[in-house]
């Protein structure tokens, strides 16, 4: 979400491909080799709910629960706590920090969790941001907390959207040299091509959008006039965007779509591929080798 990027509307369905290898030094010939294979020695192998594109799993906090947590690769750190979890567990304020939704920064409180668990993956003694994330959520989309990208930093994360399952293992590793591997240097910025143009786009499973373009990028790839304005709620404020249409094929990995509807904003700083663009994909993320794969 970016807890960060809620409610820009849906857009296109894009999916790419990436690289898998057996545990350390073995390598795979294609990035999507692990997209549909059983994962042995998985620390996590759980079903998830999908509401408005976002992923929800059942996690435990301080040995209690389960509690409903969103999985958000656009959020930094290990996790977040909603105020209803803070109240339920009587968590005292620990400190303060700042958070950004990509447009605006804000000061926030933090709390400390003795343990945050999903399956057999456990992080202990962690400090997380605490705030009211549910004030603008529909009741069915409410959650108790967020599992952010660093929760999965030391292994391979697989999000299978069609089968609604999430798996995590430290026994397997993606190979940056494999065919269709999407390497990144900053999490999780991967190449996206629009016709003859190439952009670096953030892959954000917590953003309930399909595709967002800065206005400067849109003007490079489309001559279509912008349509109606949409006021979207970010974590720290609001963002005005407009509907647009890109006629050239938009390609991420091996998958492309033409005549795609997008959201266009002069203020949003980068191209973004959100959760609604991934609903037919299997997403693989290995932060150890800095590789993403988005596979059919």
| Separation of alpha carbons 184 and 131, rounded Å | 30
Confirm if 252 and 278 have CB atoms less than 8 A apart. Answer: no
- Segment 267-282 shows an average pLDDT of 91
- The strand pairing partners of 112, in sequence order, are 127
Under DSSP, the state recorded for 30 is B
**Where is pLDDT greater, at 125 or 257?**
125
Would you state the pLDDT for residue 236? 55
pLDDT tier, 21 (very low <50, low <70, confident <90, very high otherwise)? very low
- Segment 116-132 shows an average pLDDT of 97
Q: What is the pLDDT of residues 152-168, one digit of tens each?
A: 999 999 999 999 999 99
Would you state the pLDDT for residue 40? 78
Cis ω before 66 (30° cut-off from 0): yes
The share of the chain scoring above pLDDT 90, in percent, equals 66
**Model's pTM, two decimal places?**
0.85
All domains in the chain, ordered by first residue: 2-15+175-295 (2.40.70.10), 37-173 (2.40.70.10)
Would you state the pLDDT for residue 237? 64
Q: What is the pLDDT of residues 174-206, one digit of tens each?
A: 999 999 899 999 999 999 999 999 999 999 999
How many residues in the chain?
A: 296
Would you state the pLDDT for residue 9? 34
Q: What end-to-end distance do the CA atoms of the chain give, in Å? A: 23
Q: What is the pLDDT of residues 224-239, one digit of tens each?
A: 999 999 876 666 566 7
**pLDDT of 27 above 60:** no
Radius of gyration of the chain, Cα coordinates, nearest whole angstrom: 19
| Separation of alpha carbons 18 and 96, rounded Å | 38
Q: What is the pLDDT of residues 56-109, one digit of tens each?
A: 999 999 999 999 999 999 999 999 999 999 999 999 998 877 766 566 666 789
- CA dist list (Å): 236 to 1, 99, 274: 12, 8, 18
- Of 14, 7, 4, whose CA–CA distance to 295 is shortest? 14
Q: Phi and psi for 86 in degrees, rounded to 5?
A: -55, -45
**pLDDT of 208 above 50:** yes
44-47, strands of its sheet edge to edge: 44-47, 165-169, 156-160, 282-286, 291-295, 182-183
**Where is pLDDT greater, at 12 or 170?**
170
pLDDT tier, 26 (very low <50, low <70, confident <90, very high otherwise)? very low
| Separation of alpha carbons 184 and 121, rounded Å | 24
């Amino acid at each position: 979400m970016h807890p960060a990027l809620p409610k820009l509307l849906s857009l296109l369905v894009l999916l790419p491909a990436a690289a898998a290898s057996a545990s350390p030094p073995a390598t795979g010939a294609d990035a999507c080799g692990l997209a549909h294979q059983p994962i042995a020695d998985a620390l996590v192998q759980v079903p998830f709910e999908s509401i408005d594109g976002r992923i929800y799993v059942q996690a435990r906090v301080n040995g209690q629960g389960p509690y409903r947590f969103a999985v958000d690769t656009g959020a930094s750190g290990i996790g977040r706590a909603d105020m209803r979890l803070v109240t339920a567990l009587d968590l005292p304020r620990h400190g303060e920090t700042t958070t950004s939704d990509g447009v605006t920064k804000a000061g926030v409180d933090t709390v400390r969790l003795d343990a945050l668990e999903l399956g057999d993956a456990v992080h202990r003694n962690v400090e997380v941001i605490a705030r009211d994330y549910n004030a603008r959520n529909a009741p069915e989309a409410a959650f108790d907390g967020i599992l952010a990208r660093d929760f999965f930093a030391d292994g391979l994360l697989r999000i299978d959207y069609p089968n609604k399952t999430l798996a995590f293992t430290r026994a397997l590793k993606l190979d940056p040299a494999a065919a269709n591997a999407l390497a990144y240097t900053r999490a999780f910025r991967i190449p996206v091509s629009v016709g003859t143009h190439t952009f670096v786009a953030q892959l954000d499973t917590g953003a309930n959008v399909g595709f967002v373009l800065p206005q400067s990028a849109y003007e490079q790839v489309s001559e279509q006039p912008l349509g109606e304005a949409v006021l979207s709620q970010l974590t720290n404020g609001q963002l005005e965007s407009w509907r647009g249409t890109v006629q050239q094929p938009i390609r991420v990995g091996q998958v492309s779509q033409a005549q795609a509807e997008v959201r266009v904003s002069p203020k949003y700083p980068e191209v973004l591929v959100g959760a609604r663009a991934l609903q037919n994909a299997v997403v693989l993320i290995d932060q150890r080798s800095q590789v993403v794969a988005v596979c059919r």
